Each structure stands twice: as structure tokens, then as C-alpha cells.
Amino acid sequence: MNRIFKSIESAGIATALVVALLCSCSDNEISHTQTTVSITYPADAEGLTIVSEEIKAVNLSTGQTQILPSKSKIDIVSGLYDFIYSAEVQFSSSNGTETSTVKGTLSGKAENVSITQNSCNVNIETFLSAENDDFIIEEIFFTGTLRPSGSAYFGDGYIKIFNNTDHVLYADGVGFCESKFKSTANTEYSPDIRKDTMTIQSLYFIPGSGHDHPVLPGQSLLLCDTGIDHRNANPNSFDLSTADFEWYDVSQNPSTLDIDSETVPNLDKWYCYTESFYTLHNRGFASIALVRVPIDKQTYLKDFWYSYDYTVYTAAGAFPMQQQAFKMPNKWILDGVNLSVEASRLWNVLPPSVDAGWTHCGTTDNDKTRFFKSVRRKVQYINSDGTRHLKDTNNSTDDFNADCVPSVIELQKSAIATDGTKAGKTTLDGITPAN
Amino acid sequence: MKSRGLFFFAMLLMAFATNVIYAQNTQIRFTGTVTNNNGEVLTDATVVFEPVRSPHSKPSGQPINAANSIGYAVNLPDTSLYRITVSRIGYKNSIKITERGRKEQKIDFILQNNAEINEVVVTAAQTSTKHESIVRSAMEHLQPTSIADLTELLPGGFAKDPNMGAANTIAMRETGAMNAYGQSAANNNYSTSALGTLFVVDGAPISTDANMQYSPLSSTQSTTTGTSAEDSRNTTNRGVDMRSISTDDIENVEVVQGIPSAEYGNLTSGMVLIKKIRRATPVIVRLKADGYSKLFGVGKGIDLSKRNTHYNSHILNIDLGWMDSKVDPTNNLENYKRITASARYTRQKDRNKFQSAIDYTGTFDKSKTDPNLNYGRIDDYQSNYSRLMLTNNLHLNKLAGWSFDLNTSASIQFDRLKQTRLVAPQRYGIVPVGYDEGEQEAHAVFGEYVASYLCDGKPFSASISTKAKRTITRNDNNYIMFGTQWDYAKNFGDGQVYDMERPLTLTGWTSRPRKYSDIPALQNFSTYAELNSEFPIKKSMFRLTAGVRLNTLPGLNSKFHMAGKFYADPRINLSFQTEEIGDIKLIVNAGFGLTTKMPTLNYLYPDKSFSNFNSLVYYDQENPAENSKFVVTTFVQDPTNYNLKPARNQKWELSLAAYRRNGGNATIKLFYEKMNDGFRYSNVYNAYSYNRYADKLMTDYDELRTLDGYTQVTNGSKIIKQGVELTLNFNRIKVIQTAINVTGAWFRTQYLNSQPMFESVSGVIDDMTISSQFVGLYDWNDGKINQRANTNVTFDTQIPKFSLIFTTSVQTVWFISTKTMWKNGTPVAYISAADGKMHEFDEQSTKNAYLQQLVKTYNADLFKTFTVPMSTLVNLKVTKSIGKNLKLSMFANKILDYLPTYTANGRIIRRSASPYFGMEANIYL
């Protein structure tokens, strides 16, 4: 029963031994304290191996920074300190059936620690992050809203991408794509290229020459379906006219009409499976990934088209099928999120090297409760500048809050239900309160 | 072909004209009728006169066959006595000797049913080697809801649960279109087969040519067939919906699947000849209920003269019927109702006959979606059909040696199809509202609305047919027949009525309201000649039927290829009946015929197609409702195919039948039918250019070129039917009072396309919609080969002492298979928007990022045969008469089943059957 997701077992708490040692005091003018730093390792990290680690102590009074040579019985000058822990690690990323080893970092901080003669034990709680020096997905709002009549409204879906690093990132050339394979059907494809390739049905890129769209650490970009104020058509929707980018689909016919917002620049459309305007899979069966493609568009479009066989199983029998699609090498994927629903999920479309888990809105196929909800990445900690640091352990089950009130809805206090009930509180990640 | 057919026919006529020799000696006129116990006239009896010296001496000289349609009539020289032997399949022979001296002798024959007196026919009888006949008693025992249920009795037929939520169209000698799993699935591309089956009620054809009850949402003018409430019920271009024909007032149904007489035309597959009850009857009340429907019928045949004989009758039949059914007994949202009323007047005097009838049929289809299950969504479909038909038939016998028939009929329908839907634009929608070509502002839709659609059809049809018939020898079976038929079909309805700003859907609306009364009338004219002849060769008999029918469409606009053209259908049947070998008589029959179905009104005058392109999509962020501007460039395409030709079917048939003198017979038929030019809608692509404006002021623009498609009817469907039909009737086994009847068939039907097909691919590459620039032309077989073999073994137990009839039908489908034809997904050519021309698709094309998308690939396993193995179901039927006034019947279908589990592509398929029960009472007052 692989369908039932096995939660990752804790690898065991890396217990930090609290060495309750006495301080030894000296007679010098500058008092030194023998300090012991203990590290609390993340409980849910599996197969964690520390490749290298470093503890920095920043003396807040003098501004001096020193790298601690060891963890225990370090002789440091008494004072007010920030202790910063960072480590390069490897850990296993597993979805229960498949496992891959992933590089990552552990980081933690103990701030404003007063090192005095009486207090010389410091504990740093650490957080695991997969190695990623580029954008990650912060939020996906794929379900859409409902009109007051109860019928579905399309066009207000969005994806938020986030700079989780400590430096400026340029979004130029970052693309997003949606998987063609669905997590609820057809687990076997031939050729089976899933381990290193994603089969996609849409591919849109942020335009730019390389340095046009800087994003500061802890900031995000909002990529939306249609960048207009949707409340004109659906009072239950919200305003996307200030979004950063929209995916606009040039349409020939009134039947496939998309609206090109004047205020929101368009993404560069490389491929989409549908001639109609494109919406994210609104029952949430497809996986979403961010990519940077190192080759030019024409080469990609010519060379990455492939055919595959699969079989559809129905009550009446099994039916051989063949389809064609574009493929995306996993090595070009910056971040990926598997989406599914509990009742219908058969597999994870993206392998554990991209995402070991999956997240959701709703629990069954066509779940009516899924509307007005998104998946949002959890806040791991708050940076010193007040920005968020999000959790990225390569496992969306752990990293995301499911069934959240979308951030834009929270911000605009727009409707969260068909009857027009408005969003109340604002949160950092759907759960953690903003203040 | 046409002229050759005529020539052939003329030669035959000349050959036989020389045979017309009348002996001018003193003649005696012998006449008589052949009837059964119930006084019903037995058609197709054989009446043989043989000269005898004395009543008991052996016959000498040449036997003469004198049978006609109601008995016999012959003039013979007064030189000897004659022994008259009357025989008919299913009855015991009757022999009488003529008297000497009387100039006019009327000798009537009443034949006894073969095995048992009072035996009831509960299976389809073969009235000859050509037809299947289903008589009243068989219908009563079968307990049908509509005529559709009777097809179970034909070879290859089997019992099906009623499907009252879909049009029941006929499938003759074919498997029917199937889905990938071998289940039957409607496919409009092959509907010519059903469209080309002629239904005739008491000499009047049921015309469906002017039926255009559909909405632009339906599959009517599409290359694919949908399964919506409307699509499954829509019969436009699909012939007669058998649900609408009640069986309550039917005397018998003859199903002609072989080569039809030249008397009948405008058909491809075959015909169903319905004869209504025209005799005195008590008040008969029929009450029926089963899991799906309730039915009530009442009828009476009033004897107006009180002195009826077969030559002098004066009868009025009145029938009323009502039927209420549900598609699913547990679902109140979908139902089908039928009301029928009929008054038929029959006057017969001295073999001249006048028949008149007025018939009403009303059917009411309803389908709603449950708002509780559907986000409160409204989606209602309602289709009402009301048909009033007036028929007059006049038969004049022996006017200067000729008999004449004049049949006239006129029918008017009042059909209303209503649809109501809640339309929610997915975001914003625009609706092009112009009727003319060019740039025009489109109506913008910002919110939801309720769309209502009405299709108001008033198909009117009239038919006048004449027939003249003359015997050309002393034997009445040698005759020539000439006739004409003129059919008129016109729709006087308001057509498609709706608010253009509120169409039924916002995705892909390419239609406009259309008044059907503006569509020209369709006339079909045909004329025919047929020769029937038989030559006795000793005691064997050689029979020939040869005819030709010429069909044309008078008044058709000369732009049509068909205008002014005559299409000739030569038809020939040869049969040889051996003398008795032991007690068995063999009949070998071979036939060939061409049958032609002319297109319907919709095929000739399809709805115009409107191509719309977005020239300006300006969405005003501030005040979208007031200041946005949407402009479309509209192109109007008239999809009329002036090169359309009729659908023509070649039919070949070979049969062998064996009849035992005292009952029992066996028939095996081989058939092959090929139609290369069946009707279907096909994709057509054109290149268009239009301006795309950059801003609201519409000053800056790019000129864009794009492809767009519409559908046009073509002769692109090919249907090849072949197979074997088997019928075995064994004599009743006295001890167990049971007769065994076996029918079975193997059908192999190929549903193919006969022309290459355009097919677009979806997808947008580099902001370019591929189908707007390139569409491939694929020269492939987009079809299937389906097969089915089945047998029905019916044990018919009749116990006259208890007035009990009990039948057990073991119905086995030995296998069903379907195979998708292999497809080469590489196009042979493609049309390009840039120049609107066709280009060869070559090696270089496969290397182009855009063109390579046109290559469709298929999983090789897709083309493997899918086979559903055998399944057996057992159905029981009981009829019991209680006293004189009550007959009770009951059926239990699928009471036993054998449905073995099978594997398909590695998966285990389990099957199940749920029994279906029903009962009825017939009360005679």
C-alpha cells in the first residue's frame, strides 16, 4: 500500500548533550567565560551526514566575529553574542519507495546570548535546507475561486516564487512548468525517463536579459494567470493587477479569449498543450516546477519533443495509448512541488531528488472544499531583517502547509467562500500568525 | 452504370414479352382466397393447377402456378378438371379438385397451421427467402415497448434492456459502431446505415429528411459524436427513432434485409414494412409494466358493414396508446413519454380497396441535471415531437388487365427542442454577434447568464406513389410492374431561435439563429419497372425478379452535382426451387442490387459556419464593463458541398433454404454489402487574413494569417457489411410440446473513411498556435473492423389445453471483437496559413520544430484486436390465456447468465447481469 504516504521517520533526534559545566573564571581584566555550544538537529532529517560545520560567534558589543574552534569549553570573552551555526550536509530524500541523497545545509542562530560568568551554555536550534542557490516555490494557488452562484471562476490562479538565499537573485530566465503526468493515474510510462526528466505540458519564462528582475533575499515574485482586478467579474475573487508577471495566451478566437493586462508584463510562452487560455490543473493532480533552461528556445523546441507509451486501465480493460510531449531534464529544475489528493493519489510525479513529498488542497477528486485554498511553504525562521526564511528540505509534505488561505486573499481580505465570507487574519505561511 | 442497368432491363422485358400468349379457347375463370384459421389472408402461398382426367386420377400435363397476393386467379381452358394444390411455408398443403362445367369457379382455401392447430407463432417467420416477418402473436408474446424490441427476433438480434434515454436507431446486418471495449457506441460518421433504412407504414414512408432538431452544441455537424443528453437523443441524419413506433396497432412487420423490390427506394440498408391492424376486433386493452416503463394501449376494429367478407369489408380501426418510461428507474430527471392515436378506415369491394388513416405520434424527451449535485447548475434538455400523418391508399384491380395503386400521404410534425443552461464564462467571454463578414464589435460577457435555446422544427413531408401491375401470362406470378414515387420534404419551422448575445456556450460558438422555413424543399422523384417471372422446369421452379429504379432530385439548384442527374438502381433476384427430394424442397436464391439514399435537408443545406478572429481585445482595467472593446473579424463559410453525391450501397446475397413438407426448415444466407460514399461531416480548412490592432484606437495593426476549420458533409464514409445468417425451425416435438427455433448470425462490419482527413493538433509553441498555422492531411484508415457472432436458441412450448405458451430463449454472444485500423500518423501533406496552400510533408518537415508536431504517433498495441469472449443469457417468457377475455404475459430476461471473466491487456474483466422483469395483460372486451 504505497498509496498511503509513510511519513518520514525521524532519524532519531540528534541529541545535543548538555554539558553542565562550571565556568572557570580568570583574574584578568577582560573576563573570559568557558562556553559550551550545543546543537539541536532537526528531528525529521533522515540519514543526516555532516560534511563540514562552522559556528560563528559575533560579539555584539565589539562587532568582532570569531569562528569557534570547537563546540565545548571554548574560552570566549564575556559579552552579548549572536551564535550562528552553518553546516554542509547530506541527507536522504525519500518518498517511501524511492530514496535519493541530497545535498543541503543546516543553519541556526542563537541571538542576543549573554555570555557571563553564570551563563555559558548556548543552544542553537538548526534548520535543514536543501542546497539551493536559486528561487523556490513559495505558494501555488491552483484551485481558483467560485462565483457567488457556485460555479467555478478561472483566471485568478498564481504561483509565488521566493528568494530563500542570502543574496540578490535575478529572475530573468526562470521558467515554470506543469507536469503532463498526473499523480492520480498511469504510473507506468515507456520509456521511463521520470528519474531524470519531467514530462511537461506548459512552459512559461520570466523574460529579461539577465539582470532585469532582481529579487532581494526574503522577497517573492507573483506570477499569475491574468493580471487584472478579477473582482469585476467575480466579487469573490481578488485584484491581480499589480502582480509581477502574467501568463498571457495569445488567442485567435473568441472561444479561447485571454485578456492581456496592461499593467502586468507577460511571461514568455514557450509551450502550452492547450490552444485555449491556460489554467493550472485546478484539482491539483499535476506537479509544478521552476526551471532555468541553459539552451536557446529553438533548440529546446526542436530537440526535447518525445513520444511515450502508456496504458489506461479501466473497468472494461486496459487500453494502450501513446502521447507526445516536451520533456524537461530534472537537472534544470530549481524547485518542484508534487500535488495530489489523498483519495486518488497513486504516485509522485516528481522523483525524490526534486520533491520527496507532496501537498494538496482538498482530499478527494473534485473536492468542493478545495476552492479559495492554496499550498504555502512554511516559515522556518525569521531573518534578522524581518524577512522570512522558508523551509526547504526537498519534501513538500514537510515544507508546505496544505489547504491554506492564499496569501493574496489574506492580504486583500477578499472572499474565502462562495457566500463571500472575507478572510480574517493574516499569516506568514497560512498558519504562523503574522504578528 | 445507369444506362447499362436500363439496357439490361429492356432486354429482359423483350425476352418475356414473347412469352405472352393467351389461349383463346373456352376459358374457365378460377378464383379464390387463401387464408388461415383466423381468416387472415396468407400472402406468398403457392397455388398450382394440374390437369386431371378425373377427381382421383394422377395429374398430367404442365402445372400452372396461379397465386397472387391474396390467393389466386387464373383463366384455364375448359378441357379437363384441375387439381389445385395450395401450399405455404408453415402450413399444411391443401388439395381440391375443380368442378366441370361452371364458367366462374370460386374455391377458397383455409390452410391449417403446420404442426398444431391453434399454434401461435412466437418467432420471426420467414415468409419467403427474402424477408423476415414478425406477426402479431409473436409481438404479444415478446411484450415490446416499441418496435425496437422486435429486432431481437431477427437473425443476429438479441434481447437488450430498453434504452429510453437515447434514440433507438436500427442496425441491419451490422455490428454497429463500437468503442474500444467492444461496447456499442453511436457514431454519426456511420449513421447512413440507419438513415438508409426505410420505414413504411401501410404504404406510406416515414420521412426523416426534413428533421433538423438539434442545437449547434450537438454533434450533428461535427466529425465526432458526443454523448450528451442531446447527442444521444438527436436523430438528425440518423433515420427513424424506433422508440416512437408503438407496436400496439401493428398486424405484422416485414423486415427486408436483402435485395428490396424496385418498388422501394431512397434507402441503402433495407426496409421495415409495417402493416397495421385493419380488421374487426373486440376492444383490446393492453397494460404493461416493466422496470423501465408503463404502457397502456386500447384499440378496436369496428365492423361498419356487419357483413364483411374478404372481398367486401368496411372497417374502422381506432387505437390509442400511452407509454411513460424512465431511463433509469431510480432517476426522475430523465424520462421519455409517448402518446399514439390512430384511426384507420378500410373499405374493400370486389378486390378494389380504399384505405385511409390518420395517425398521431407524440414523444416527449426530458433530461435535467440535478442542481443539488451540480453546483446549482441549470442544464435542461427537452425535446417534443408531434407528428400527424394522413394516409390514403387506393387499389383498383383489373382495369383493362391492369391493377393500379395510388398511395398518398402527408405528415406534419411540430417539434420543439428546448435547452436551458446556466452559462458561466470561465473569466470573461466575448460573443461575436454579427451575421455579416468583416470587422465588428463583439458582445462582452462579464457574468453568468441563463441561456435558452429553442429549435422549432415543422418538418412537412408528402408522398405520392403510383403503381401499375399487369400479369403477363396465365400465371399471376408473371407480371410487370411500373410505378413512380414523388416525395416532398420541407421544414416550415422557425428553426434555431435564441438570443445571439446569450448563446448556449461561450466556447466556440460558430453558429447563428437560422429559420428553417428559409431552407428550400427537397423533392425526391423516382420511377421504376420490375419484372417478376417464374418458369416451371418439370417440378422445379425458376423465379426471376428484375427491376430498375431511377432516382433523381427535381428542383435541386443546378450548382449541385446531383442536379438533373438520374441514379439507377438495378436489382435482380434469381431463385431456383427444386422439386421435392424425399420430403425436402430446396431453394437457392441469389441477388444483387444497388440501393441509393439521397441526402437529407441538413446534408444539402447545412448551417453556415462563422469563423471569428480576435482583432482587438482591449480590456480596460479601470472600468472594464464600459470601456473595454472587443472587435472580431468575421468570415462566413457556407459549408454546402455542391459535389455531394447520393450514398449508394451494393448488395449481394446468396441463400440456401430447405423446407420439409411437414414443417421444419433451415435457411442460411450469405451477404456482402459495400457502400463507399456514406455521408459524414469532414474537416475543411481555409486560410484567412485579418488585422490585429495594437490599441483601442485601432490605428496600428499587424496583418495576421491564420487557418480555421469548419465541417462539410462529404461522401467520406465506407461501410462494408458481410456475414452469414442462419435460421433453423424444427417441428414441434409432440411429447414435450416444444418446438426449437435457432437464429444466429456472424457479422463482420468495416467502418472506414474513404477520403483522406484533415486533423488539427493542439498545442502552442513559442506563442504560436500550431493549428492556426499548420494542419496536416492524413491518408489513413480512421476506422474499425468489428465482428460479432451470436445465436438464439428458443424453446417454444405450447400447451393448448392450458392456453399456455412458454418460451425459453438461450441467447449466446459467441464473441464480439473490434480492431482499430492501423494508422500512419505522418501526414501526407499539410495546409499552411502563410499561403493557404497544400504542401507535401517530407523528411525535412519532421525536422522542423513546428511541423514535427503534426506527426501523430500511436502505441502499436492500439491496433490489436480487442475481443470480448462469449456470454450467455437466458430469457423466459410466458403467456397464459384465462377465459376468453384475458391474456396474461410475463417475461424475465437474464434470469440465468453465464458471463465468464476474461483478461484484456493483462487486466481481469468481470461481468455481471441484472435480471429485467415485466408483465402485461391483454384484455378483450
- Do B314 and B284 lie in one domain? The reply is yes
Q: Do A149 and B448 touch (CB under 8 A)?
A: yes
The predicted pLDDT at position B921 comes to: 93
Domain CATH for B37 = 2.60.40.2190
Across A89-98, B196-205, B570-579, B760-769, least confident range: A89-98
Of A130, A155, A174, at which residue does a domain stop?
A130
Element containing residue A320 per DSSP (H, E): strand A317-329
Question: Three-class SS string for A51-70?
Answer: EEEEEEEEECCCCCEEECCC
Is B121 a member of any domain?
A: no
Rounded to whole angstroms, the Cα distance separating A408 from A400 reads 17
Q: Confirm whether A348 is domain-assigned.
A: yes
Number of domains in chain B: 2
> What confidence tens digit (pLDDT) does each residue in B776-797 have?
999 988 899 999 999 999 999 9
**Is residue A251 scored above 70 in pLDDT?**
yes
- Residue B122 domain-assigned (yes or no): no
Residue B128 has pLDDT above 90, yes or no: no
pLDDT tens-digit series, residues A393-412: 888 998 999 999 999 999 99
Which of B181, B426, B816, B908 best tests the A interface by mutation, with the highest count of A CBs <10 A? B426
Q: By CA distance, what is A150's nearest residue in B?
A: B375
Compare CB distances from B858 to A226, A314, A322 and report the shortest one's residue: A322
Report how far residue B212's alpha carbon sits from residue A143's, in angstroms, rounded to the nearest whole number: 41
Q: CA distances (Å), B870 to each of B162, B789, B816, B873, B912, in order?
A: 22, 9, 8, 10, 13
Tell me the whole-structure pTM to 2 decimals. 0.83
In a domain, B124, yes or no: no
CB-nearest partner of B857 from A307, A320, A368? A307
Q: What is the mean pLDDT of residues B216-235?
A: 90
Q: What percent of chain A has pLDDT over 70?
A: 91
Residue after which a domain boundary falls, among A81, A97, A130: A130
Which of A146, A232, A274 has the most B C-beta neighbours within 10 Å, making it the best mutation to test the interface with B?
Answer: A232
Asked whether residue A85 falls in the same domain as residue A220, the answer is: no
Answer yes or no: do B320 and B404 share one domain.
Answer: yes
Chain B residues with CB inside 8 Å of A318's CB?
Answer: 904-907
Q: Which of A32, A119, A135 is nearest to A75 (CA)?
A: A32
| B714/B603 Cα distance (integer angstroms) | 9
Structural domain of B229: 131-924
φ and ψ at residue B558, rounded to 5 degrees: -65, -10
State which residues form the domain around A86. 32-130
What gap in Å lies between CA B584 and CA B573, rounded to an integer? 22
Q: What phi-psi label fits residue B238: left (phi over 0), alpha (psi between -120 and 50 degrees) or beta?
A: alpha
Whether A274 sits inside 8 A of B763 (CB atoms) is yes
Q: Which residue of B has its CA nearest to A279?
A: B426
Q: What is the nearest CA distance from A285 to chain B, expressed in angstroms? A: 20
Cβ–Cβ of A305/B853 closer than 8 Å? yes
Using CB atoms, pick whichever of A149, A261, A318 lies closest to residue B907.
A318
Q: Collect all residues of chain B within an 8 Å Cβ-Cβ radius of residue A315.
A: 909
Residues B903, B180, B846: CA angle, nearest 5 degrees: 115
Inter-chain CB proximity B849 and A232 less than 8 Å: no
Q: How many CB atoms sit inside 10 A of residue B401's CB?
A: 9
Question: Residue B859: enclosing H or E segment and its boundaries?
Answer: none
- A264 contact residues in B (CB cutoff 8 A): none
3-state secondary structure B809-854: EEEEEEEEEEEECCCCCCCCEEEECCCCCEEECCHHHHHCCCHHHH
Residue B48 has, within 13 A of its CA and on its CB side, a CA count of: 21
Mean pLDDT along residues A247-262: 88
Please give the average per-residue pLDDT across B385-406, as a whole number: 91
Of A232, A301, A313, the CB nearest to B849: A301
Shared-domain flag, residues B150 and B80: no
B146 with B104, same domain: the answer is no
Residue with cell 528531528: A43
- Return the pLDDT at B711: 94
pLDDT band at B125 (very low <50, low <70, confident <90, very high): low
| Most B-contacting residue of A253, A270, A310, A370 (CB-CB within 10 A), to test interface | A253
CA-to-CA separations, B510 to B439, B607, B737, B800, in angstroms, rounded: 16, 10, 65, 65
User: Regarding beta strands B250-256 and B131-135, do their DSSP bridges make them parallel or antiparallel, or are they unpaired?
Assistant: antiparallel
Question: Checking DSSP bridges between strand A286-292 and strand A174-182, what pairing results, if any?
Answer: antiparallel
Quote the CA–CA distance of B847 and B340 in Å, as a whole number: 64
Cβ atoms < 10 Å from Cβ of A316: 17
The number of folded domains in chain A is 2
Q: Band of the pLDDT at B126, cuts 50, 70, 90?
A: low
Q: Please state the three-class secondary structure of A343-364 as a single string.
A: CCCCCCCCCCCCCCCCECCCCC
Mutation pick from A275, A298, A314 vs chain B, by most beta carbons of B within 10 Å, is: A275
Is B857 close to A324, i.e. CB distance below 8 A?
Answer: yes
Residue A420 within any structural domain of the chain:
no
Is residue A94 a part of any domain in this protein?
A: yes
pLDDT at B491: 96
Residues from chain A that touch B764, judged by Cβ atoms under 8 A, are 249-250, 269, 271-275
Query: How many Å separate Cα A134 from the centre of its chain?
Result: 11
Contact A273 B762 (CB under 8 A): yes
A320·B183 Cβ contact <8 A: no
Task: Report the DSSP pairing between strands B449-457 and A158-162.
Answer: unpaired
Q: Which residues, other chains included, contact B329 with Cβ-Cβ below 8 Å and sequence gap of 6+?
A: B291, B292
Are B375 and A262 inside 8 Å of each other by CB?
Answer: no
Tell whether A65 and A191 lie within a shared domain. no
Assigned domain for A176 exists: yes
pLDDT of residue B371: 65
For residue B173, pLDDT beyond 50: yes
Question: How does the average pLDDT of chain B come out, rounded?
Answer: 88
Q: Which residues, other chains included, contact B367 with Cβ-Cβ below 8 Å and sequence gap of 6+? A: B165, B229, B233, B327, B333, B334, B380, B381, B382
Q: Is residue A7 part of a domain?
A: no
| Block residue for cell numbers 548538555 | A18
Q: Kindly state the percentage of chain B with pLDDT values over 70.
A: 92
Residues B172 and B97 occupy one common structural domain: no
Tell me if A182 is assigned to some domain.
yes
Structure-model confidence comparison of residues A27 and B350, the more confident one: B350
In this structure, are B669 and B720 located in the same domain? yes
Q: How many Å lie between the alpha carbon of B916 and the closest alpha carbon of chain A?
A: 22
Query: Which uninterrupted H or E stretch holds B53?
Result: none
pLDDT attached to residue A358: 93
User: Under an 8 A CB cutoff, do B862 and A276 touch?
Assistant: no
- In this structure, is residue A17 part of a structural domain? no
Residues A265 and A208 in one domain: yes
Distance from CA of B238 to the nearest CA of A (A): 28
Rounded Cα gap, residues B546 and B528, in angstroms: 11
CB-defined contacts A:B, below 8 A: 178
Examine residue B116 and state whether it is found in any structural domain, yes or no: no
Reference B201, options B320, B357, B349, B352; nearest CA is B357
Quick one: pLDDT band at residue B61, thresholds 50, 70, 90? low
Q: Are residues A403 and A385 in the same domain?
A: yes
Rounded Cα gap, residues A291 and A307, in angstroms: 22
Q: Name every chain A residue with its beta carbon within 8 A of the beta carbon of B610.
A: none
pLDDT digits (tens, 9 = 90+) for A153-201: 989 999 999 999 989 999 999 999 999 999 988 778 888 888 889 999 9
CA–CA dist B88, B90 (Å, integer): 6
Mutate to test the interface with A, among B629, B764, B819, B856 (most CBs of A within 10 A): B764
Domain boundary among B110, B142, B168: B110
Q: Which of A241, A298, A319 sits opposite B180 (nearest CB)?
A: A319
Of A109, A130, A151, the residue that ends a domain is A130
Residue A210 belongs to a domain: yes
Which residues of chain B make contact with A254, given a CB cutoff of 8 A? 429-432, 442, 506, 509, 612, 614, 630, 632
Residues in chain A within 8 Å Cβ distance of B906: 318
> Which is more confidently placed, A34 or B292?
B292
Q: Dmax of chain B from CA atoms? A: 113
Distance of CA B336 to the CA centre of its chain: 21
Do residues A2 and A39 make contact, with C-beta atoms less than 8 angstroms apart?
A: no
CATH number at residue B751: 2.40.170.20
Question: pLDDT confidence of B140, banded at 50, 70, 90?
Answer: confident
**Residue A68 above 50 pLDDT?**
yes
Query: Rounded to an integer, what is the distance from CA A19 to the centroid of its chain?
Result: 37
Q: Do A271 and B765 touch (CB under 8 A)?
A: yes
Confidence of residue A203 (pLDDT cuts 50, 70, 90): very high
With CB atoms and an 8 Å threshold, state whether A302 touches B852.
Answer: yes
Separation of first and last alpha carbons in chain A: 42
B431: nearest CB among A254, A314, A317: A254
A203 and A108 share a domain?
Answer: no
The residue whose grid cell reads 404504404 is B203
d(CA B425, CA B505): 8
Contact B852 A297 (CB under 8 A): no
Do A64 and A146 share a domain, yes or no?
A: no
